[in-house]
Each structure stands twice: as C-alpha cells, then as structure tokens.
Amino acid sequence: MHAMIIGAGLAGLTCARELDRHGVDVTLIEASNGVGGRVRTDYVDGYTLDRGFQVLFDAYPAVQRQLDLTALDLQPFEPGAIICFEGQRIVLTDPLRDPDLKARLQATIDMRISPFDKLRTLLLALELKSQTIGQMLTGPDTSSLNYLRQRGFSERFIDLFFRPFYGGILFDRALQTSAKCLKFDFKMLAEGQTAVPLHGMGEISEQLARPLMQRGRIRLNTRAERIFSAGDGTHIYLVGGETLQPDVIVLATSAPEVERLSGEPMPTGAKQTATIYLNGDQRFYSAKKLVLNANPDAYINNAQLLTNVNPAYAPVGKHLLSAVTIGIPTITDTQLYRAVLTDLHAMFAGDIKAQAALATYQPLAIYRIPYAQFDQPPGLHARLPDNRTQLQGVYLAGEYTEASSLNAAMVSGEKCAVAIIKDLRMY
C-alpha cells in the first residue's frame, strides 16, 4: 500500500510519520527546495532568520506527542510583554512564573494598568488551566472582543494588551477572530513556555523530516500540476509530465492550493504579515520579552530582540531584531526599513540609551507572507472540512481542517493518518 503526500509542511510531515509507523509505504513530494512550508529557517552571514516571526508553545498537545523538545534545546521567552504606549513602557508579566524578580515587582506596583484587569487576567489563566481543551472549546462561540468584554476587562486594557498581543498571534487587532482561538492560545501560554529552538524554528520541521529524508521518502523540487480521477483510481500529474498513481493521496499544501488541486471548498480569506529583520551593535532593551506597540496608529504590531532570548541567532557581539506588521505594506524595502525604525524610535521615546542603540540597527532581511493564516471568524471551526474528501482515495492534512496554528497542522496530520489507517482496515 503506497500513500503519496503532496506538501512537506508540518501537517504532511506529521501524517507521513504516523503512516510510516503503521507500516504504510509513504512518499512526500514538495514543490520547494526544503521541508517545513512556512516553518523554515535561513542562515545568512551568521544570523538565524526564521521565515516570519514564529515561536513554539511547548504546551501544544501535538508538540508534546511528536517532537523531541530536549533535542530542540528550546530557548524560552519570559512571560508577559513590554507595552509601548504614548512614549511610555509598561511591563506586564505573570507574577507566578516570571524568573525576573525586578519585572515581577515592577508589574505588581505599576498602577498604569488597573489591578482589577491584572486580577482578571490571572483568574482567566487559572480557569482555562483547570479545563480540558474539549471543555474549553464546547458551547457557543463569539468574537474575541465580545468574550473579553464579557469577562469584564476594561477597554483600556483590551487596547493596551489584547489588541497588540493577539494581533501578533492571530493577525487581528480588531479581535474579530473566534474567541475559541483566543482561549486555546491563552491556555497554552498559561501552561507552558513560549520559545524558539536553539537553531531556529526550521529545526522543528527538520526533526520531523529527518527519518523520512534519510530513507529517501521525500522528493524536493517536485510540484503537482493536478490530480485527476480515471477508471483505475486517482492520479497525480506532475509539472514536467510525470504521472503517479499511488493507492492514497494526501493533500497537505495550503488551502488555496488544495482547492486548486481538488476542487474541494476550503476556508477563505488570508491573514497577511511581514517580518522585518535588522541587526545592530547594541541591545535597546534587556528583557527576554515581546515588545507590543499599543499606539492606535501603530505601524509595526510587535518587535522582539531575538538575541536577548537566544544569543545564537546572531554572531558574537551582534543583536538580531525582528519587527512584525499586520498586513503586507505596499512600499519598497528601503521605505519599509525606514518606517520600522521610525516606529521603534517612537515606541522607545524618552529612553536615551535605547535611542542610541537603535541608531546602530541596519537592514538585514524582509519576509512578506501573503498567506499566514486563514480567517477564523466565530463559528467557523464547526464548518471546516473533514480529513476525508469526496474523491476516491484522496485525504486532507492541513491546519484548515482544525484551526490556524502549528499545533492544528500537526493534529490534522495525525487525524488524517488515523482516517487512512482505519479505511485501510489496518488496526
């Protein structure tokens, strides 16, 4: 029995591993020159550049099942964030988990954020930690904004923290995304760490792919032109003219590509983002925290000195900064670098040392990502496609069957493999 998987992103790799473990003959074909899809890393002049700012929540259930976290040598962020607003910097953190005593004390006594909002944040974390994922996701859905208002959070705190924080996670500062997404991510943040692997996010994909790659089960630079059904089954027609006829086909590419190949309706809409990398000689803040831009006219949504978290991301004596926009700016690279630095200077207004440090930062790389996530309005998840399709022997593995996250992609890969194995009566 031969299964061919189109797409070697996290979903395709996870599905392939699970099928391989059950004795199914597996081949992955990947159109690009490497595995991982959006979870890839480039190494440029001693810098580690993830293809778009990404982090790993080590509490993700699929991550716990599929990855060797010790081997990844995760470098954790500190909980919380530095909120930049109207020339001020406000530290928000988890007083129960932050190893930085100064940050805990500062966050506790700082009255610029209401103690009632701090208490509501703590209570929400404790409540979600006490629930299973199934319990948390059952019941009616609403927007993230409505949910936060129902929980009693003030409009000021929503604007200062939740809009930029979940803007960076869900690419939606308006908070119109399903509250189930917000709750799931909040639970993961409360239960574990946010981290990057020592050698970059691409190591996640490489770890999943390594056993298959070593056995020649992955074909790179191989693009599927179309799939078609004939009397003897479903075939894959490759760019270049080769035709393949496996027993099972798994479509593990992006939702638009799956729709093109199969004709199956997929979730619509696309969240776009850009990650801008700069390198500098000095750090302009010292914490291992995310920096959020809460200004209503924010150009960049969030920034992070990655070398504060993981010094191996840059050569010795250098610092690596990533800044994230929601949406893809329609300006030149030079204009984009200039706009990012202008915004950063505004975010750290009044901090003389930070201003001097930022003056040393130079352009390094830009990643424009036209399809970072699909739209996830309230109620969408009940309408997502199944892993099985109407086409004979064709299955789906991708985040679009679950939710838009690294965990969802891996879960979809697992569920797809289970569906195939059940259908092949291999249990």
State pLDDT tens for residues 247-261. 999 999 999 999 999
Q: Residue range 123-141: average pLDDT? A: 93
Cα–Cα distance measured from residue 242 to residue 236, given in angstroms and rounded to the nearest whole number: 8
State pLDDT tens for residues 36-94. 999 999 999 999 999 988 999 999 999 999 999 999 999 999 999 999 999 999 998 88
Token duo for residue 282: 């000095």
Cα–Cα distance measured from residue 289 to residue 266, given in angstroms and rounded to the nearest whole number: 36
Question: Is the overall model pTM greater than 0.75, yes or no?
Answer: yes
* pLDDT at res. 426: 52
Cα–Cα distance measured from residue 50 to residue 313, given in angstroms and rounded to the nearest whole number: 10
Cα–Cα distance measured from residue 319 to residue 361, given in angstroms and rounded to the nearest whole number: 9
What ranges do the domains of the chain cover?
2-39+201-268+381-423, 42-76+195-200+270-373
Pick the CATH number of 42-76+195-200+270-373 from 3.30.70.2190, 2.40.37.10, 3.90.660.20, 3.90.470.20: 3.90.660.20
Q: List Cβ neighbours of 76 (8 Å cut-off, separation of 6 or more).
A: 193, 194, 195, 288, 309
- pLDDT band of residue 106 (cuts 50, 70, 90) is confident
Cα–Cα distance measured from residue 425 to residue 325, given in angstroms and rounded to the nearest whole number: 47
pLDDT beyond 90 at 326: yes
Cα–Cα distance measured from residue 99 to residue 203, given in angstroms and rounded to the nearest whole number: 26
Instruction: Report the amino acid identity of residue 46.
Output: G
pLDDT beyond 70 at 362: yes
Using alpha carbons, select from 378, 371, 426, 417 the residue that is nearest to residue 397: 417
State pLDDT tens for residues 223-247. 999 998 877 778 899 999 999 899 9
Q: List Cβ neighbours of 26 (8 Å cut-off, separation of 6 or more).
A: 2, 3, 4, 5, 16, 19, 20, 212, 217
Residue 241 region by backbone torsions, left for phi larger than 0, else alpha for psi between -120 and 50, else beta: left
Cα–Cα distance measured from residue 148 to residue 264, given in angstroms and rounded to the nearest whole number: 35
* pLDDT at res. 229: 82
Cα–Cα distance measured from residue 356 to residue 119, given in angstroms and rounded to the nearest whole number: 37
Q: Which homologous superfamily does the CATH classification assign to the domain defined by 2-39+201-268+381-423?
A: FAD/NAD(P)-binding domain (3.50.50.60)
Task: Give percent of the chain with pLDDT exceeding 70.
Answer: 100
Cα–Cα distance measured from residue 47 to residue 280, given in angstroms and rounded to the nearest whole number: 12
* pLDDT at res. 262: 87
3-state secondary structure the chain: CEEEEECCCHHHHHHHHHHHHCCCEEEEECCCCCCCCCCCEEEECCEEEECCCCCEECCCHHHHHHCCHHHHCEEECCCCEEEEECCEEEEECCCCCCCCHHHHHHHHHCCCCCHHHHHHHHHHHHHHHCCCHHHHHCCCCCEHHHHHHHCCCCHHHHHHHHHHHHHHHHCCCCCCCEHHHHHHHHHHHHHCCEEEECCCCHHHHHHHHHHHHHCCCEECCCCEEEEEEECCEEEEEECCCCEECCCEEEECCCHHHHHHHHCCCCCCCCEEEEEEEEEECCCCCCCCCEEEECCCCCCCCEEEEHHHHCHHHCCCCCEEEEEEEECCCCCCHHHHHHHHHHHHHHHCCCCHHHHHHHCCCEEEEEEEEEEEECCCCCCHHHHCCCCECCCCCEEECCHHHCCCCHHHHHHHHHHHHHHHHHHCCCC
- pLDDT band of residue 25 (cuts 50, 70, 90) is very high
* Torsion sign across C-alpha atoms 165, 168, 174, 175: negative
pLDDT beyond 90 at 150: yes
* pLDDT at res. 427: 42
Token duo for residue 167: 């803007």
Q: Residue range 395-405: average pLDDT? A: 95
Cα–Cα distance measured from residue 164 to residue 292, given in angstroms and rounded to the nearest whole number: 6
* pLDDT at res. 391: 87
What length is written for the chain? Answer: 427
Sheet-wide strand order for 74-76 = 56-57, 194-197, 74-76
Token duo for residue 172: 């939606």
Mean pLDDT, the chain, rounded, equals 94
- pLDDT band of residue 107 (cuts 50, 70, 90) is confident
